[in-house]
Amino acid sequence: MKYTIAHHLAVAIFNDDWSGICASDEKHADDFVCGLDGYLVPLEWDVDWKRCEITGQHSDCVTVFLMRN
């Protein structure tokens, strides 16, 4: 399954570095990741202006793929 997520959240998720991420975005991302049955891998690092599936806000987004456990 593919997801479109904000680039800054993808960087935080993959690097486990939440510095500079506001508390509400961190909470949304944590809820999103904890609800997944698997783990995310980057699919496309091309940045496009789209709606983030984590926050619901428009942002520079990337596409990630869910790998099932």
pLDDT in tens, 38-59: 989 988 788 999 999 999 999 9
Block residue for tokens 């099932």: 68
Closest by Cα among 2, 1, 9 to 55: 9
**Rounded Cα–Cα distance for residues 19 and 4 (Å):** 21
Range of the domain at 51: 2-68
Instruction: Give how many domains the chain has, as a whole number.
Output: 1
What pLDDT score was predicted for residue 26? 93
**Model pTM above 0.95:** no
Q: Please list, in sequence order, all residues whose beta carbon lies within 8 angstroms of the beta carbon of residue 37, skipping any fewer than 6 positions away.
A: 66, 68, 69
